[in-house]
Chain A
Amino acid sequence: MSDLTDLTISESLKKLRNKEISPVELTKAYVENMENNNAKYNAYVTTTAELALAQAKEAEIKYLNGTNRPLEGIALGIKDLFCTKGVRTTACSHILDNFIPQYESTVTQHLLNDGAIFLGKLNLDEFAMGGSNETSYFGPVINPWSKEVKLVAGGSSGGSAAAVAAKMCAAATGTDTGGSIREPAAFCGVTGIKPTYGRCSRYGIVAFASSLDQAGPIAKDVTDCALLLNSMAGYDANDSTSSKEVVPDFSSFIGQDIKGLKVGIPQEYRVDGLNPEVAAYWDKAAEMLKASGAEIVSISLPHTKYALPTYYVIAPAEASSNLARYDGVRYGERVEGNGLDELYINSRTEGFGKEVKRRILIGTYVLSAGYYDAYYLKAQKVRRLIKNDFDEAFKKCDIILTPTSPIEPFAIGDKKMLENPINMYLNDVFTVSVNLAGLPAMSLPIGLSQKGLPFGMQLIGKAFDEGTIFKTAYQLERSANFVRM
């Protein structure tokens, strides 16, 4: 394995600018890793090595003539939920098997404009619905930390987290609807941030649940996340939910001290039967922040227990509608039938996987006549209470510290997870509230379990205050001194 791929983006950029390395050799190193390891991890579903190398050559010219842009020559993997012009985009669903978008998502366009290179499209749970990457039409991603047993990489951005962990890209894009950036980042020992809802444009990202979906980076460390988010974020007139809030230079928060910062510990997250290893790391992380000068305060988020049921009403409801467009008429998988309804039914039944169909059915049900008030409207009201909880909590603290996941990565095909979908849903217990409240949150690795598997810690910030997350996360990262793969 090449040493070049051990470098973080900030380190690579320094060497590129000093002409110590060339973008072509850097990209080649990643391409090599990608091609050598993909069969093992199944992280990429589409690779575009030739395109990447062509981009690298252009980057080389830019460096030579001094017109290099902020991310010039940095090779990224793109979650296959972002539409990429001329490159197959599947959402890892059979229904979009051969879909080639004729447009580019705003976020990937930003990255391209800043000189980033795309290595290919990364595996995910079908339509980002899942927490283990096992619902992908292209099969599960294998966690690079797996020992004898093949472990899940987490989901839905499993391909993104695994590719970053296995150095098959310098960093990757992800999306997060209920924890889809943070949970796989935690499972794969890498760092990922879900920014505030509205920070990144959703234009050109295949929609799962519109009011919850948000794009963000998964990278090797906190500093790289800041570099990428600088490029990815920003108001977009094509997305009416994107925010006009000023985007600060997130890198400027790296290295700032956190003396006097109030770190909230929500008591309700200390659920019964919480994995003692997770609990121990949580305490340890709090100690580390305290040692860096932060003050630890106890806070309450009383509606925490209702976050999962709320999420599992709202997300499927929106998904059932968002996925109605996959009907076999204008693009994607089509299975002919006798008449239009049969064409729809055959195409959709064949095209969607089991979990997606399950969520479409639940979502349709909770919106249907007679049930809307009891389920959907109720969930929207509880959602308001969950958001109010955070508003109250942030009167007492500047940032919130929680574990990212209550468990460590589990085996692919785990019986307990498969026999009851709710067991899988419960893994999102620490992450979904953040999406419901639209807040920014980061997961960064804190240490290894006794089995030698990574644990992640989550830092939740106030809306549009990713800055505080970056400075806190950077301090925690330094204290934890986690050794990457």
Chain B
Amino acid sequence: MAEYIITTEKEKWEVICGLEIHCQIISQSKIFSGASTEFGDDVNENVSFVDAGMPGMLPTLNKECVHQAIKTGLGLNAVINKYSEFSRKNYFYADLPQGYQITQFQYPIVGEGAVDIDLPDGTTKTIRIERMHIEQDAGKSIHDMSPTKSFIDLNRAGVGLMEIVTKPDFRSPDEAGAFLRKLRSILRYLGTCDGNMDEGSMRCDVNVSVRPYGSDEYRTRCEMKNVNSVKFVMQAIESEAKRHIEVYENGGDIAQETRQFDPATQTTKVMRKKEFAHDYRYFPEPDLPPLVLSDEFINKIKSELVELPDAKKARFVKDLGLTAYDAMVICENKETADFFEKAAKGHDAKKVANWLMGDFFAMLNEKKLELKDSPVSAENLGALVELITSNVINGKTAKDVFAIMAETGENPEKIVEEKGLKQVTDTGAIEKLIDDLLASATDNVAAYRGGKVGLFGWFVGQVMKQSQGKANPQVVNELLKKKLG
């Protein structure tokens, strides 16, 4: 990967970045209560007495959230800790009913891991995972309904979260972007988080510092909270790095602080200085005994794990002969990969991949359709490719057939049959067409034979036209060459 270096008149700078990503766990009920996790219900409807922090209420841990966390940990190639503890993180806020968040601190459920990212130039890089723990989400404060009041909805309070913390391994905005896309892909494959950053089900905190290129020091970092798209994360890293460089080059110092990235201005502004940092007073949650997992429990989840994007990609390259790039694009999204595999079954996988990434996606795009709503089924796409490879139709006819498939959802064999689009490979029939043409276009024949070889294409075109596009172009070529001498 080309190095990302910010060069100024004075110095060359390197960017150091780490990410903390909060991912909402997919589960029916909340992590510590039996209220629904459903999004978009009426205010305070999905709230239990536990979620509202009523006196005497106690948390109980949702098995599914533990399952999902272990799955995710395995997906991050990380250590699953058989012993973990819950802790309380104490702070006052209007949407934090208990006055503390139940989280994991000293003993998280998932330890160190590693994720390979694919960079735009085709290279890969390993990003190390520091840890992942599970915790509860806060409620929502609504500030724009009144000039003097804030309104509190606790529907989200207590929804399970996984917080993934990376090591400071990112050296460019591209790497961070690639990681987030990869992480989202893994989470969606696993079905543990829907990964929608714009809806807040995946939220990213970005830590940035810079250092002179070639040095190995770590300078003061700043944290940008809740950056809510991949693009904004990349922009935030760039803008914050440039701010640091400017401060340093003007002889200043960077203070450790929490900042907020504003996409509109492409700048960050300070939210909280370190001296006002919270003192969270973490301590082990006395309402929940330690979580002790058995090998059996973990192994069962391991055995049920789906094939992840990297493994799938490798298999597509090795077994199906795709290029690394095509495999990566197809595997980023599990539904696409599944669709592809279904379509490619028994057919020329490379051709299927080309069709999928070309005409097929173009068609979905144009029709503004999701993959699952495609009028062209995976089987029919495969069948279309088969018609081409077995010379039943030629490439040009295939495009016409595909257009009909996209409109009607019909299978290609039927379309070819009904419309009589089978290509003519019968040399006798083609020979007759050529003979007729040569007999009528005597001027051009003479010109060609006189040296105007550029006319060859015209002859091919005429024969194809006469065959209504059904003639096998290769056969036409060969015969024409022979007859024209």
Binding site for B on A (CB under 8 A): 82-83, 89, 91, 96, 99, 101-103, 105, 202-207, 209-211, 237-241, 317-318, 320-321, 323-325, 327, 329-331, 340-341, 344, 364, 367-369, 372, 376
Contacts and interface: CB of A to CB of B under 8 A. Distances in A.
Nearest to B92: A344
Interface string B181-216: 000000000000000000000000000000000000
Contact of B279 (A96, A102, A344, A368): A368
B99 A325 contact: yes
B287 interface: yes
Contact of A318 (B55, B57, B92, B286): B286
11 contacts: A103-B54, A105-B56, A239-B60, A240-B61, A241-B286, A321-B281, A325-B55, A325-B97, A327-B92, A330-B53, A364-B281
Given A210-B287, A211-B286, A325-B97, A101 B55 contact: yes
B256 to A, nearest CB: 15
Contact of A321 (B94, B99, B288, B289): B99
Given A330-B52, A331-B54, A369 B279 contact: yes
A135 to B, nearest CB: 17
B49 interface: yes
Given A240-B59, A240-B287, A368-B279, A324 B99 contact: yes
Contacts, number: 100
A203 B61 CA distance: 15
Contacts of B97: 325, 329-330
Given A204-B56, A240-B289, A103 B49 contact: yes
Contact of B283 (A102, A237, A367): A367
Given A324-B90, A344-B92, A202 B58 contact: yes
B459 interface: no
Interface string B445-468: 000000000000000000000000
A202 B100 CA distance: 19
A382 to B, nearest CB: 16
Nearest to A345: B92
A211 B61 CA distance: 17
Interface SS of chain B: helix, strand, loop or mixed? loop
Nearest to B96: A324
B55 A102 contact: no
Interface string B203-244: 000000000000000000000000000000000000000000
Given A210-B286, A240-B58, A376-B283, 20 more contacts: A83-B55, A203-B56, A203-B58, A206-B55, A207-B55, A207-B56, A239-B58, A240-B288, A241-B286, A321-B90, A321-B281, A325-B98, A329-B94, A330-B53, A331-B54, A331-B55, A367-B90, A368-B279, A369-B281, A372-B283
A372 B52 CA distance: 28
The 9 closest A-B pairs by CB, nearest first: A324-B99, A210-B286, A367-B281, A211-B286, A325-B53, A204-B56, A206-B55, A369-B279, A83-B56
A424 B377 CA distance: 79
Contacts of A241: 58, 286-289
A372 B284 CA distance: 12
A318 B52 CA distance: 19
A323 B56 CA distance: 11
Contacts of A103: 49, 54
B71 interface: no
Interface of B: 49, 52-61, 88, 90, 92, 94, 97-100, 150, 152, 279, 281-283, 286-289
Contact of B58 (A101, A238, A344, A369): A238
B279 A340 contact: no
B150 to A, nearest CB: 8
Contacts of A368: 279, 281
A198 B53 CA distance: 21
B11 to A, nearest CB: 36
Contacts of B52: 330
Contacts of A204: 56-57
Nearest to A348: B92
Contacts of A321: 88, 90, 99-100, 281, 283
Contacts of A329: 94, 97, 152
Contacts of A240: 58-61, 287-289
A189 to B, nearest CB: 30
A102 B90 contact: no
A364 B152 CA distance: 26
A324 B58 contact: no
Contact of A202 (B56, B88, B90, B98): B56
